[in-house]
Chains A and B, each alone.
Chain A
Amino acid sequence: MGTKPTGTKRAGMKRRLGRVAQGGRAGSALLASLMIVIVISGLGVVMVQLHSSVTKKQVQAIDQRRAFYVAEAGLSEAFLAVSQGKSGNVGSQAVPASFGRGLYWVEAAELDDGDVALFSTGLCGTGRFAVSAVIRRSTTPLASLGVFADSEMVIEAGVQVDGFDSDAGSFETQALGTGEDSTTGAGARLCSNGDIVLESSGIFPGGPEATAVFGDLRPGPNAAVLMGSGASVTGSTAPAESVVAVPPVSVPALESEGELVHAGSSPAVLTAREVRYDRVRVESGSALTLEGPLTLVVGALELAAGAELIVDTSTGPVCVYCTESCDLEEGSVLSASGSDPTSAALFITASDSVDADGDGDLEHPVRIRATGEFHGAIYVPSTTLSIPSGLRLFGAVAADRVVLEAGARISVDEALAQKSAGVSALPRLICWRIVALPDTPLVSLRLDPKAQLQLKGVEPTESHQAHLEDFVSIEFFDTDGELSSYEGPEAAFDWSEVGVAITTEWSADADFDEDGTAGSGPCAKPSHGGQGGGGHAKPSKPNHEGGHAKPHKLDKPHKAHKPHKPQKQHVKPHKPHAQKKPHEPKAQKKKHHRVHGPGHHHEKTVSGVVHPAWDD
């Protein structure tokens, strides 16, 4: 029989049981807490994951929008490049341009009609976007200036200049009165980068033989109208605010077919669409018709006394390019069958004196002594053009120096303001659209593009330094009025030195090839560099080999003429000559006036020639 435990033994047993019980429960709260923490942590992780996925989507949407803006920025940069005369290529797939947090590159392609197609790809974070735009280089027509002289304009006694609009009808329908001396009474526009001299006619103003300009005279920024007694101007004589750049002419490259000499009594008609001759001569008693559409390039154009040259624009435009000389002898006749001045243009690029008659004496390369009528634009950028009194001109005239000889009659055509050769203006946006992304690793991998490039060791270029053409050849007047020039990397050139830019050319490397520029209009074809002299680069392929201008032999910087004193008024009485010098146009040194971008039309610090009379 067992014995019952004693009191002491019971207490001990109780203590042992308690310890066991306590030992058995030990850690259970910790376990429970741990489980709760794990559950809550798990919930938290799940929520964080879900939240981050939502955030990722939002970030992607933001990156996509940013990529769109970066692509747009690329288009803007390319637009600026094209307006400066570059190709429009900015950055490349291999080395994109950097803009803000993103990257982009722009590829430019020249279209058939001179437009430029831009394709811009923008990348930012995980966002990718591609847009395209087609822009059109545009020009401000030179003929909008009416009668224009780059250096000086001389209007002799008895000259009458008015204006009309061939789109509104013929001159006769707009003239006040009838007869040879009828005028429209308004609409003349005469501009010059230098002085405009109206010689005294010695006749009361308003008379039939008085010198009269029925419209505006606009001398250069630091120049003036010098008006003799008896001359009248009905419009403004305020100087222009900026110098007008005169673009060179791009002569079509055609194979020469030798010489064309027409001596027969029966009229000859030239109907070829494009033709080049070394020399075209029409002998006395013969007539040659230039029938449009026609582009005629001729080295020497000669009209003997008694010969006739007929410009027939009734079937199409006629453009004539004279590269060496233009000699329309006294007694020859220049006529037109077709009264649309917008369809005919005469470009004379000759500048050096020539011995046209073989007598050993050099004559001026441009001698127009013909009579008759000419409806069109005459453009002589490199030398003096004199309009004789016997030649009735309807249209526009632009030359380095213009002399309107005594009794000349010119009617400026307003319609040419829209349809003739011109200086470059800002390009116009023709088309904008969203395009498919290019298939490149940088685009396909939706990772941060900057990080991707960093792994490859590629450093993106800053946006403003990413243009393909980064070599510049520039002639300019600096801020002190001194003529200077620079040829080399654009990054090394300090643009703040430029007071007035005269010519600017761009190239992808240091080798500048010559690429003349042309105006727009019915006769001028866009050169590789585009219209209006605005472009000098070939934008057709992104990796084109650069060089678009001949090594430009720049003259040593020389002192420019001092500007006129500000006390000079716009119009002053003109002292008569002590001796009347014959106005035989002098051969002038050829100037390489390249058109510069629209942002570079600035005031010239140099005025025109100081007239000899003022030396008294």
Chain B
Amino acid sequence: MLEILIATAIFALVLANVTMVSRTSQEAYRTGAFMGLLEEQAEQTMDRIEMAVMSSEHADLAPVAPLFASSIDYERSLGVEEGQMVFDDPERIELELGPGQVSWLQNPQTAAERKVVWTRHVPEYMQDELPNAVDDNGNGLVDESGLSFDMEGKQVSIRLTLRREDAKSRVYTRMIESRVTCRN
């Protein structure tokens, strides 16, 4: 009887530990997978933005740090014809604050406008940034939004923050930034 009790106790202990390990592992995995997913989403979006901006001529973007813009207008090059560069229809990448999404538009504000949502879960303000007219995160911009552009010559700096909650309402944030040069 005593042996059974001891064995049962040990078994229960082992089982409990195994269960704890399992749960912890699952939790860690979920967190890692969620972060990975968020990172992948951010990188994919950033890649798209970079490729679009690189193919354009000097993008129409006025602000210089500490000012910024949440949208960028540009025209992609389609090649050269008779010695002159040919451009595609006007395009725009912008942050829609309401739904918190980054959208790509072709022929914006026209009857032929096309729109594709590249990513959601973009917060109103950049990671570590607060709406207090101060450069909280030390990147040279003041109160920048979740998607921000600023220019220096022909170089465009792009910053993107994604923020999501998992099933347990835990918030995950991922910020990615890049700098590209308009090649045309």
Is the Cβ of A40 less than 8 Å from the Cβ of B22?
yes
Verify A29–B7 contact, CB threshold 8 A: yes
Query: A residues within 8 A CB of B33?
Result: 50, 54
Candidates A50, A51, A57, A111; contact of B40 at CB < 8 Å: A57
User: Is B115 in the interface zone, CB < 8 Å from A?
Assistant: no
Question: Given the complex, which residues of B lie within 8 Å of A29, measured CB to CB?
Answer: 7
> Do B29 and A433 touch across chains, with their CB atoms under 8 A apart?
no
> In the complex the two chains form, is A432's CB within 8 Å of B40's CB?
no
Give which listed residue, B7, B14, B43, contacts A36 with CB less than 8 A: B14
Tell me the minimal C-beta distance from A546 to chain B in angstroms: 26
Nearest opposing residue in chain B for A135, CB measure: B80
Residues of chain A lying within 8 A (CB to CB) of residue B14 = 36
- Are A431 and B40 CB-contacts (below 8 A) given A40-B22, A50-B33? no
- 1/0 per residue, CB under 8 A from A, across B163-184: the answer is 0000000000000000000011
Verify if A430 is at the interface (C-beta below 8 Å from B): yes
Partner of A43, one of B22, B32, B78: B22
User: With A54-B33, A117-B80, A132-B79 in contact, do A432 and B11 touch (Cβ < 8 Å)?
Assistant: no
- Residues facing A in B9-66 (CB within 8 A) are 11, 14-15, 18, 22, 25, 29, 32-33, 36, 40, 43-44, 47, 51, 54-55
Does A434 contact B40, Cβ atoms closer than 8 Å? no
CA distance A61 to B45 in the complex (A): 12
Smallest beta-carbon distance B57→chain A, Å: 9
Q: Which of B15, B25, B83 contacts A47 (CB 8 A)?
A: B25
Q: A57–B33 Cα gap in the complex (Å)?
A: 12
Given the contacts A32-B11, A40-B22, A432 and B54 also touching, CB distance less than 8 Å: yes
Query: Do A115 and B83 have beta carbons less than 8 Å apart?
Result: yes
Per the bound structure, the CA–CA distance linking A259 and B2 in Å amounts to: 128
Most chain B beta carbons < 10 A, residue from A47, A65, A117? A47
Q: Which residues of A contact B159 (CB under 8 A)?
A: none
A77 vs chain B, min Cβ distance (A) = 17
Cβ 8 A contact of A434, one of B51, B80, B83: B51
* A431 engages B25 (CB within 8 Å): no
A433 near B76 (CB under 8 angstroms)?
A: yes
Q: Is the interface of B mostly helix, strand, loop or mixed?
A: helix
Please state if B25 and A432 are interface contacts (CB–CB under 8 Å).
Answer: no
- Please, which residues of chain B bring their CB within 8 A of the CB of A32? 11
CA distance in complex: A40, B22 (Å): 8
**Residues in A whose Cβ lies below 8 Å from that of B78:** 433
- B40–A134 contact, CB under 8 A? no
Query: Chain B residues near A58 (CB, 8 Å)?
Result: 36, 40
Q: Which of A50, A64, A432 has the most CB of B within 10 A?
A: A432
Q: What CA separation (Å) do A43 and B23 show in the bound complex?
A: 11
Tell me if A40 and B83 are in contact (CB < 8 A). no
Interface residues in A49-69 (C-beta closer than 8 Å to B): 50-51, 54, 57-58, 61, 64-65
Which residues of B are at the interface with A, using a C-beta cutoff of 8 A?
Answer: 7, 11, 14-15, 18, 22, 25, 29, 32-33, 36, 40, 43-44, 47, 51, 54-55, 76-80, 82-83, 85, 183-184
21 A-B contact pairs sorted by A residue (CB < 8 Å): A29-B7, A32-B11, A40-B22, A51-B29, A51-B32, A54-B33, A61-B40, A61-B44, A112-B82, A113-B83, A117-B79, A134-B80, A430-B80, A431-B79, A431-B85, A432-B55, A432-B183, A433-B77, A433-B79, A433-B184, A434-B55
10 closest A-B pairs by beta carbon, nearest first, are A432-B183, A134-B80, A113-B83, A54-B36, A433-B77, A431-B80, A433-B55, A431-B85, A431-B77, A47-B29
